[in-house]
Copies of this chain bind each other. A is one copy, B any other.
Amino acid sequence: MARATLESVARHAAVSRQTVSNALNAPHLVHPDTLTRVRAAISELNYRPHHAARTLRTRRSQLVGARIEPWRDGVNGAVLDRFLQSLTARAQARGQRILLFTAEDDEQECAHYEDLLSGLDLDAFVLHGTHADDRRTAWLAQRRVPFVTFGRPWGSTGTHGWVDVDGAEGTRAATRHLVAAGHRRIAFLGWPEGSEVGDDRRSGWADLALAAGLEVRPGYDAGVADGLGTGRAAAAAMLDLEVPPTAIVCASDSLALGAWTELTARGLRPGADVAVVGFDDSTTAAVVGLSSVAQPLDDAAAACLRMLHDVLETDRPRGGRADGTDGPPEGGRPGPPDPVLLSPQLVVRASG
């Protein structure tokens, strides 16, 4: 069966093409009786608007670009996947679609923006993994491309909308939980200072250690590259201290699982002998019974798309005629939307 066009629907309902278009996009302009007739014709012919034609006319594709990561870290890569899954479901519910791309680094990612924007006219992007002096956000902002980031604009003033999860609150909650369980010697096993996410997570532990007057001895604050091996070695060093900690809060599940492995290898039971809490609530954590701080990824995805919606509404049709004769938007440029900072949730399992 040939595909139904707007024209064929119009003929079928004995109205003009424009009336069909209005019935679809501005039903309040159409007389109720006409509307009924048109809708009947639409469903009878199983008509759907042609996406490319509509995009060509309106300069809106309903497509949102998102980067899918090469599989870096074994344990934590899953965070992004869960975010993407939620993003797809949420976008779909709004009539938008997620288009994937990959890039090796930020520079390559910018090159892809260029391609995707001018070639494929995406409406917007959802970025993740922001960091200080992020050239991607600068690139997009300069060209006035609508976007939001999952991750705050560390350091910089942040002239764009963003959604993030409060890492410090996560480690604070973990530490608080351990204190409540009677621990006084609680160590932190994180990444070297200088990484924004890592420093944020460390600060939650440090805050609470200070507030609760915990016994923080030298060697109770480790900073190593993320990974199982490094985590295990760092944990071993802590356990070998003259007065070892009775609990370890970690910046990632990788590090926590490293610590977990070291404990097990020494015949110590995670939780009963030494408590360990991870971060990201990876599937591995669930498997081995590791307590972990869970990020509300579905909420984050929903917040990103809500914010994107606002940005797109505000920043209406860039484009217009190709000669760029449309004037500047009335009333100057509005500021970026209010950022959203979500609270993570501690998932308590056997290890803590």
Contacts and interface: CB of A to CB of B under 8 A. Distances in A.
Enumerate the 6 nearest inter-chain pairs by beta-carbon distance, A residue then B residue, closest first.
A2-B324, A52-B55, A48-B118, A74-B283, A81-B81, A52-B56
Given A84-B100, A228-B287, 8 more contacts: A8-B322, A48-B115, A52-B121, A70-B89, A74-B287, A77-B78, A89-B102, A261-B287
18 contacts: A48-B118, A49-B119, A51-B52, A51-B119, A52-B53, A53-B56, A63-B99, A68-B85, A68-B88, A70-B85, A70-B89, A75-B283, A77-B81, A77-B283, A78-B283, A97-B120, A261-B287, A284-B287
Contacts of A120: 51, 97
A101 B49 CA distance: 19
A16 interface: no
A50 interface: yes
Which of A3, A61, A287 is most buried by chain B, counting CB atoms within 10 A of its CB?
Answer: A287
A230 interface: no
B52 A61 contact: yes
A88 B74 contact: no
B82 A71 contact: yes
Interface string A201-230: 000000000000000000000000000100
A99 B99 contact: yes
Nearest to A117: B48
A97 B101 contact: yes
A235 to B, nearest CB: 14
A66 to B, nearest CB: 8
Contacts of A69: 85
> How many copies of this chain?
2
Interface residues of A, number: 55
A138 interface: no
A15 interface: no
B102 A286 contact: no
A215 to B, nearest CB: 31
A257 interface: yes
A102 B85 contact: yes
B88 A92 contact: no
A98 interface: yes
A187 B185 CA distance: 46
A5 interface: yes
A3 to B, nearest CB: 6
A124 to B, nearest CB: 15
Contacts of A52: 51-53, 55-56, 61, 121
Interface string A112-149: 00010011110000000000000000000000000000
A98 B97 contact: no
Contacts of A85: 68-71, 102
A171 to B, nearest CB: 22
A242 interface: no
A117 to B, nearest CB: 9
Contacts of A3: 118, 319, 322
Contacts of A70: 85, 89
Interface centre among A61, A99, A264 (most CB of B within 10 A): A99
Contacts of A319: 3
A202 to B, nearest CB: 23
A323 interface: yes
Contacts of A101: 88, 92, 97
